[in-house]
Every structure is written in structure tokens, then in C-alpha cells.
Chain A
Amino acid sequence: MSTDDKQKKVAAPIATDNWQGAVSDWGADKQVFNMPWGKLMMWLFLLSDTFVFSVFLIGYMNVRMSSMDSWPLTSEVFALTIAGYHIPLVLIAIMTFILITSSGTMAMAVNFAYRGDSRKTVLFMTATALLGASFLGMQAFEWAKLIIEEGVRPWGNPMGSAQFGATFFMITGFHGLHVTAGVIFLLVIARRVASGHYEGKGYHIVEITGLYWHFVDLVWVFIFALFYLW
């Protein structure tokens, strides 16, 4: 056994990652989760947020199943006419691609942070925030069009089931609120990375911000499938 191995054994006896390892993580007299507390707290927050969004989507499923009127055709409600072509759901598709792209840039920001390249980290975080902001702009456009042109209200709409407006504004509004918070979060952290605040402290905060941002994208995947496409 080399000295290197010996040192490892003394310093951190980390059990293998299987069921026995999980038992030992919980049972041994040590910190259960092998991560900074901020990251664990973000995971717990995201878990609770999962429940919030699930309850919204379950409520939407329930009112849609029990509605006597026909549900408005989302494909048509969210269609746009661009250059003379009538394209169904096009704005939502673009918003989906933008959010996925922002998730990609965020993943790279985290990677560059752990490489210690703070310049590229700031660059990619700013790009992520900008993409998030453009998503919000499109959402504002979509809401304005729905409210002003289509006459959709939380209590009714001309296209069909009255619950459409209530669930739409609730679900996409709450998601948009998360994106807004995410953009602010990203900009604040990017600024602090740029000012060298995390040098010597480590860049876990970038990964934590990333977890939040990926979660916002994750929620959109479910909203896109269950609300817009269903």
C-alpha cells in the first residue's frame, strides 16, 4: 500500500455507493450528505418546489377532467401568423428552445467554475440570464395577446372551458415568477464571481445557482407537455 492510499483511508473513509453505503451515510456518526450545506438546502427547496408545481398541475388535471365544456385547443390558442404562415404553438416552441439553451449554457458555466475559469463562468452565467430574460419577454407578449386579443380571463374565455384561464395564469405565472427570480439570482452571483468574491472559498455557489436554473427548465418540460401539448 502506498502512502497515498494510507492517507486516504485515514482522512475520509467514504463507503461505497450502494444500499450499505447509504445505510452507513445515515448511520455513521458523521455528516450524512457529502456536500456543502448550501447545495443540500437547495436540493431540499427544489424538492418542496416539486410538490408545489405538482399540486398546480394536478389541480389542472382535475378541473380539465371534470369540465363539462370542451377545453380550448391550445394548438390554436397559441398559434401565430408569421409572414403570412399560420404556425400552431410556434411561440411556445421557441420559448422551449430558449430555455433548453439557457440550461446548456448554465451547465457549462458550472463546469468552467469548477475549472477555476471565472471569466468564462461570468460570461456563460450572463448569457443564461439574458436567455431567461428573453423567455420572460416572450411570456409577457403571450400573456398580453391572450388577455387583450383573445379575451382570456381567470374566470372565463370565449373559446371554451372557463377553468382554462385560471389554470393557465396560475401555472405559467408561477413558473414565470421562478424564471424572474432565477434571472436576478444569476446576475447577483455572476457579479460576485466577477468581483472575485469566491476566490479561495470555492465555486459551489455556481453549481447551486445552476441547480435552481435547471429546475426551472425541468418544470417547463412538464408544463410544455401537460398544458400546451396535451
Chain B
Amino acid sequence: MSQITNKEAEQMQPKLHPISLYLKIWGLLFVLSTMSYLVDFFEVQGILRWTLILLFMSLKAGLIITIFMHVRWERLALKLVLFLPPLAIVVFISLMAIEGDYTFVNRLLSFISV
């Protein structure tokens, strides 16, 4: 494998997007942040609260990754490197949720005298 020459590096430059694209995404992120703040402000509770929080979080994260970090315009080879390993995190989250629940139940059984 040879080093990348300047000319090749030039070809790797991403397609230039108009500044307005970034302003639009910025605006969207502002709106989404405001909405997630309002979830707290109006004291939405229960399942609806968690759903809304996760929804706004995913949308914001998606916009930042795809547009600001330009992943949308990267090749599949890189996307696979970025998105396959985090699947292990999803597994880890479920394992630790089960574990946390188990610890809680055991604390209830052991430390609360009936």
C-alpha cells in the first residue's frame, strides 16, 4: 500500500454542500432540543416521557452523525466499522439492565424486613 499523494487526497475531498444545509440542521437541532426541554418543563411522566426523551435524543444524534459528521457521504466500508461494533453495547445494556433489576429485587428481599 502506497502513501496517499496530494492529488489523491484532493479527490477524497467531500462534495461541498451549501452553508444553508448546516444552518437548517442547526435550526432543527435547536427545535429538537427545545422540545426535549419542554418534556421536562411540562413534567410529562411515565412511558410517554421516556419515549419522547429517547425519540428526540435519537433524532438529534442521527442529525449530528449523518450531516455534521458527514457519515451520510462516506462509503459503506466505513459505516460498517462505525456501526457494527456498537451492537456489542446494545447487548451490554440489556445484560446490565437485567443485572440491575436482579440486584434491586435481592436488596428488597434481604434488607426490607416484613
Contact = CB atoms under 8 A, between A and B. Distances in A.
Q: Mostly helix, strand, loop or mixed at chain B's interface? A: helix
A12 interface: yes
A18 B9 CA distance: 22
Nearest to B70: A207
A25 B39 CA distance: 45
A218 B4 CA distance: 30
A188 interface: no
28 contacts: A22-B75, A31-B1, A47-B85, A50-B86, A51-B86, A55-B92, A58-B93, A59-B96, A62-B97, A62-B99, A66-B101, A66-B103, A75-B40, A75-B43, A88-B41, A100-B30, A103-B64, A104-B68, A107-B25, A107-B68, A111-B16, A115-B16, A217-B64, A221-B60, A222-B61, A225-B36, A225-B54, A228-B40
A19 interface: yes
A32 B103 CA distance: 45
Nearest to B76: A22
B104 A65 contact: yes
Contact of A30 (B1, B19, B99): B1
Interface of B: 1, 4, 6, 8-14, 16-17, 19, 22-23, 25-26, 29-30, 33, 36-37, 39-41, 43, 50, 53-54, 56-57, 60-61, 64-65, 67-70, 75-78, 80-82, 85-86, 89, 92-93, 96-97, 99-101, 103-104, 107-108, 111
A130 interface: no
Contacts of A64: 100
Interface string A46-89: 01001100110011011111111000000100000000000011
Interface size grouping (class) on chain A:
35 or more
Given A202-B10, A214-B64, A17 B107 contact: no
A136 to B, nearest CB: 19
Q: Mostly helix, strand, loop or mixed at chain A's interface? A: helix
Interface of A: 12, 17-19, 21-22, 25-26, 30-37, 40, 43-44, 47, 50-51, 54-55, 58-59, 61-68, 75, 88-89, 93, 96-97, 100-101, 103-104, 106-108, 111, 114-115, 200-202, 204, 207, 210-211, 214-215, 217-218, 221-222, 224-226, 228-230
Contacts of A104: 22-23, 25-26, 29, 68
Nearest to A217: B64
Nearest to B41: A88
